[in-house]
Structure 1
Amino acid sequence: MYLLFPGRHQLLTNFQFHYLLGLLSNGLHTARDIHGKALPAGDIDAIVFAVTSANHSNTRRNPLPFYLRALAIREFTATLGVPVYIYGIDDVGSLSNFATYTLKRIRHESDGQLDLHAGNTAVICSTPVLEMYEPLGFPILPAELTDRRTWQHNTALPWDVVEKIATSGAWEDDRYIHDHMHPSSRALWQQYRLASKVQLLFRDTMIGDDGDITTTRDYNTYVRQMDTIAALKYTDTAPYIRPGRVGDIGCAVGSWIKLACDDVRLRESDFYGIEVARHLFDICQQRKHNGEFKNPFVFFSQRNAVTGLAFEPNSMDTIHTSSLTHEIESYGSRADLLVFIRNRYAELRSGGVWINRDVVGPENKHQSVLMKLNETDGSDDDVFKAAETREALAQHLEGLSTAARFRRFARDFRRKEGYTLAYEDVEHQGARYVRLSLGDACEFMSRKDYTDNWESEMHETFTFWSFADWKHALEEVGFTVVPASKAYVNEWIVDNRLVGKVALFTVHGGELMPLAYPVTNMLLLAEKK
């Protein structure tokens, strides 16, 4: 008889050890399943650990990578005197027959050696996961579970201990942790300093449980956009890269690093890509496995560089960020952004440079302007229509006129953050305009065509700081802003998204005066002297 023990196994407990030891010492026939029935007599041939979410790490839900979890299990079972098999089971999203997938994965990974079924296997499980195995006929050993109706347990579950470590100031001296955490896990967590990592992940309010800033982003669209503009980003930034240790924070799918690896000036450099979003990090790793980077010294890490250092202090020659800092302000806070700036200063060597390419606001964002919107380039029907899917919403928005899309934008823009976009409809010499601040006008102009990811984009702000604001914040930390830094108008955006759609005016002496399109982007070169 086999014992199948599915779970994320971020750590192991003393209860689990003694539970398994009891089954091995006393025999399965002495155990009772979840219905109180005795299991058939027979020896335990092996214990099979199915480590779920094995492809996830560095997130609140799954802080430990699979290899560390496997190491802990190996030490945990070393004295049990029975064969132990450990298999990583990747997360595949919400799957109703995940138990069947797990069993097939184990059979495949073991080359058919382990064909687990209800006739030869009992499942150890004390969480609702057991309801995936029960319909397949498996006997369920309840372990910590005492009441299935309320999901009450007679002792702490492993995740309870993880959460306790996450909030404990001195976890090694905590009696609760000491009483429940098995020594094998304790030794591993001490050796690899995992507690501080978990505490950092749990403090991070920007990142979700599974390691993403936003859950409303279509990553297929996002990846295509990143690859499409990668060459432009690299051309803008390449002249300012200092060879040596080069880091790209928020590296997306690694496109900027890939182009840097082709640059002969950087052939002796080491490249470090930092990406917090699991989907994008996985793509980076796959591209590396595919041999897409000419330089072999390319390393990717999944971590959040906002609340902590991404690199060792005084270690980097170049740090590159692109389209990242506005997300920190948008999904985090001003305090998070200021911490991010200080962290980059700490990581650079003397003479190192932080290259920050991002959106930027106009210097006079509070100025009142009139905005003329095209009313005939689409529909005005059901502007605030609700849509069940991202695709349906995008299709609806694409069909709206620019004027109608502005009304939808004015309602949706940072509504969940409590922001109210103030505007009024006015007439001037028989024509209709919208009066609003220049900053809010820029927010609309910069986002009006992002229909594929509308819900995600509505959380983001682009104009919170002007170029002068940025320069001041960098100098406050100690950076010197290199003279080549600049704010500029993206002419492609003007030609393809604004001309014929949106026009801006000011009023002087009762007459309308055309206003040039404000800056859209910036290239900031911050040097650590």
Structure 2
Amino acid sequence: MTAISHVLFPGRHHLVTAFQVERLREILDGGATDERGTAVEMADGATIVWAITSATHSGTRRNPVPANRREAMIEAVSDVAGLVSLVAPVPDVPESPRFATTVLRSASLTLGVELDPASTVVACSTPAVAALYREQGYRIVPVEDARDPQPGLPWHVLELAVRDEPGWRALVHPAALRYLERYDLIDHIRTTHTDPTVSADGDLTETRDYAVYTKAFDEGSDRKWEQVAPYVVPGRIVDLGCAAGGLLERASRDPRLFDSDLFGVDVSRALVAEAEHRRDQGAFANPNVFFAQRNLLHAPVFPERSVHTTVTIALTHEISSYGDGVADLRLLAERIFAQTAPGGVWINSDVLGPADGERLVDLVLDGEDPGAAVDMTGWDSDRVEAHLATLTPSQTLTQFAADFPALSCARCQVERVAPGVARMPLRDAMEFLTTRDYRRNWLSECHERFTTMEWSDWARLLEGVGFEIEPASGPWRNDWLVANRFTVGAALRDPVTGEAVDWPDTHVLFVARRPV
């Protein structure tokens, strides 16, 4: 049998355990057998090939550590442990029976080394992954499975670290532990794992269609920039909740800001990746445009008093929806105030709850039969959209009254007082009317509360953390929404007089300045 020249060691490698190093040393020294009990004869100068899978995916619970940090950690461990190693990043790909082929071809292309079954064994203790290599003729050398009892798998050790359970550090190779601590990666991993606002893949929900959101953000960027541009203070400008970078693309073309640094920050991995792709394609006129996936609620992103303008567009309602409500909005305001330079501003544009939101109104809707709500759990966007398209406005309210409280944990108080008439607080009626046309992203939008804050609430919050409110600030009504969305099959009436109720303010724009 041909002596083995390469040991392929695939994995995400967010940390390296002491046992992994011990086992790899054992394999290289010729003291290991494959899963069938056959000795693995190693050639002189045999090399470990660390295939870092999901190398293009980071900042999520599934992949908390960026690939460049993983690669540097492996190099540090290999140097200290005397392991002859090569590192090959492998792009993140969906689960597929061709996964092994992707890893092998990526590694071979990156390293210029042919990893064929005759000269390569695969070190692996994940049964499903090992099976993919076995099918292609590779011999499998167990790693953790070679011991009884089985040592902790790397991902299990990572979870112990997240919980800071006693003894986890002893399971990590000392060189890997030094590296993780030097770059504060353990704190980063814990923050990523415990973030209540994002899914395992780094998104707000698992039902959001980002193609739809990106298109909507882009189409509205000109209007949004026109709204906020007059109040921007040049210098360091931060678009918090930047999505795919549409607003910063407009800002980069503003002659006043050619000498400014533009920063886009978003919690969503998918949107930051799209923004960085656009930057790499030359979409931004200003070369000083930077993007980062961060959550400002977990830790400050910028030094104190270093930001001249923070812009938030359609962000604050998401923070209150996915986090701890108004408490998180206060924390956000405190963090933004801390990072704002004296004389700098926070410009916010978002939806707004109506003044006197607890006032009862009659919501008159087309379609007398309210029908029954359908459980759409697990439905894809196409199916959800198709079902909602069949509902009358009255039936849509029934569906909303079931989905919104279940997904957002908020109230939706509905009393059917007559055919096609629902008596409810004005706040709840506007919550429904603001949400009902988001058919494709219905399950995602029903997580969100649009009417939490009234203007008086914002004024108290901003002044409470130290901001001064500029005269341009205040509530306003989007009359296009009134004409093209709210009044379609719906009307507001006073329950006592039956007269029409004026449509309330729907949005807020405020400019909050840190005193000089």
- With normalisation by structure 1, the TM-score equals 0.91
Cα distance in 2 for residues equivalent to 1:79 and 1:416: 50
Residue correspondence of structure 1 range 222-241 to structure 2 within 5 A: 222-241=213-232
**Rounded Cα–Cα distance in structure 1 between residues aligned with 2:505 and 2:408:** 25
Q: 1:231-267 CA deviation, whole Å, 9 max, x = no partner?
A: 1111110011010000011100001111001111111
Aligned partner letter, 1:52: T
Aligned partners of 1:256, 1:418: CA distance in 2, in Å? 31
TM-superposed CA distance for 1:153, in Å, is 5.5
1:208 to 2:212 alignment:
no
Note the 1:99-498 alignment, pairs <5 A: 99-110=100-111, 113-128=112-127, 129-146=129-146, 154-168=150-164, 175-177=167-169, 179-334=170-325, 335-375=327-367, 384=374, 386=376, 388-427=379-418, 432-498=420-486
Secondary structure of 1:512 counterpart:
coil
Unaligned residue ranges in structure 1 (runs of 5+): none
C-alpha distance in 2, partners of 1:190/1:391?
A: 45
3-state DSSP class of the match of 1:114?
A: coil
Q: What is the CA distance between 1:311 and its match in structure 2?
A: 1.3
Give yes or no for contact 1:380–1:400 (8 Å, CA) kept in 2: no
* SS of residue in 2 equivalent to 1:415: helix
What percentage of aligned pairs have identical amino acids?
36
Aligned-pair distance for 1:133? 2.0
> In structure 2, what is the equivalent of residue 11 of structure 1?
15
Please give the secondary structure, in 2, of the residue aligned with 1:246: strand
- Cα gap change, 1:85 to 1:146, in 2 (>3 Å): closer
Q: How does 1:1-80 map to 2 (within 5 A)?
A: 1=4, 2-25=6-29, 27=30, 30-40=31-41, 42-43=43-44, 45-78=46-79
- CA shift at 1:4, angstroms? 0.3
Structure 2: tracts of 5 or more residues without a match: none
1:187 Cα shift? 2.7
Please identify, of 488-497 and 194-203, the stretch whose mean Cα deviation from structure 2 is larger. 194-203
Q: For residues 104-146 of structure 1, what are the alpha-carbon distances to aligned partners after superposition, in whole Å with 9 as ceiling and x for unaligned?
A: 2223334xx3232322211111224323322223211111125
Tell me the equivalent position of 2:489.
501
> Is the contact made by 2:434 and 2:486 (CA closer than 8 Å) also made in structure 1?
no
Gap change, CA 1:103 and 1:420, over 3 Å in 2: same
Contact 1:414 1:460 in 2 (8 A): no
Structure 1 residues 220 and 33: CA distance shift in structure 2, 3 A: same
What displacement does 1:348 show?
Answer: 0.6
Q: Which one-letter code corresponds to 1:144 in the other structure?
A: E
Deviates more, 1:119-128 or 1:65-74: 119-128
Equivalent position SS for 1:229: helix
The offset of 1:351, in angstroms, is 1.2
Q: Larger deviation: 203-212 or 437-446?
A: 203-212
Tell me how far 1:24 sits from its aligned partner. Answer: 2.1
- Tell me the CA shift for residue 158 of structure 1: 2.5
SS at match of 1:248: strand
Aligned partners of 2:18 and 2:172 also within 8 Å: yes
CA distance in 1, matches of 2:324, 2:514: 25
Aligned residues: 508
Q: Could you tell me how far apart the structure 2 residues matched to 1:41 and 1:283 are?
A: 44
- Give the Å deviation of 1:43: 4.3
1:107–1:436 Cα change, 3 Å: same
Greater CA drift, 80-89 or 457-466: 80-89
Deviation of 1:327 (Å): 0.9
What's the CA shift for 1:424?
1.7
Counterpart contact for 1:383–1:400, Cα < 8 Å: no
In structure 2, C-alpha distance between the alignment counterparts of 1:77 and 1:260, rounded to whole Å: 46
Contact 1:15-1:180 at 8 Å conserved across structures = yes
What secondary structure does 1:57 align onto? coil
SS at match of 1:299: strand
- Alignment of structure 1 residues 79-98 onto 2, 5 Å: 83-98=84-99
Report the CA distance shift for 1:416/1:385 in structure 2 as closer, same or farther (over 3 A): closer
SS at match of 1:77: helix
SS of 1:68's equivalent?
helix
Distance in 2 separating the partners of 1:526 and 1:403: 40
Residue 312 of structure 1, CA deviation: 1.3
Q: Distance in 2 between matches of 1:383 and 1:195?
A: 45
Q: 8 Å contact 2:297–2:332 — kept in the other structure?
A: yes
User: Could you give the per-residue CA deviations for residues 68-103 of structure 1, whole angstroms, max 9, x where no partner exists?
Assistant: 111111122226666532111121122232112111
Letter in structure 2 aligned against 1:136? Q
The more displaced of 254-263 and 7-16 is: 7-16
Check the 8 A contact 1:307/1:340 in 2, yes or no: no
- Superposition CA RMSD, Å: 2.2
TM-score, structure 2 length as denominator?
0.93
Q: Distance in 1 between matches of 2:371 and 2:102?
A: 46
Give 1:311's aligned amino acid: F
Equivalent residue, structure 2, for 1:512: 498
Q: Is the 8 A contact 1:422 1:436 kept in 2?
A: yes
**2: CA distance, partners of 1:182 / 1:37:** 28
